[in-house]
Structure 1
Amino acid sequence: MFQLANSFDFVAYALVAASATRLATISKSEEAAQDAEKYSAMAIKGMLAAFQALTEENAEAILGAALSCSFTVSNYGMQFEGKNN
Structure 2
Amino acid sequence: MPQHTRPRPICPDCDGFPTVAITTGQTTPDGHRKTLTVTCRGCHGTGHRTPAAVPPGRGGERRDQPDPDAGQPRPARQ
Would you tell me which structure has more helix in proportion to its own residues?
1
Higher RCO by CA contacts (8 Å cutoff, separation 6 or greater): 1
Which of 1 and 2 has greater Rg? 2
- The question of a shared fold, defined as TM-score above 0.5 by the shorter chain, is answered with no
Instruction: Give the TM bin, normalised by the shorter chain.
Output: under 0.3
TM, length-normalised to structure 1: 0.24
TM, length-normalised to structure 2: 0.25
Would you tell me which structure has more strand in proportion to its own residues?
2
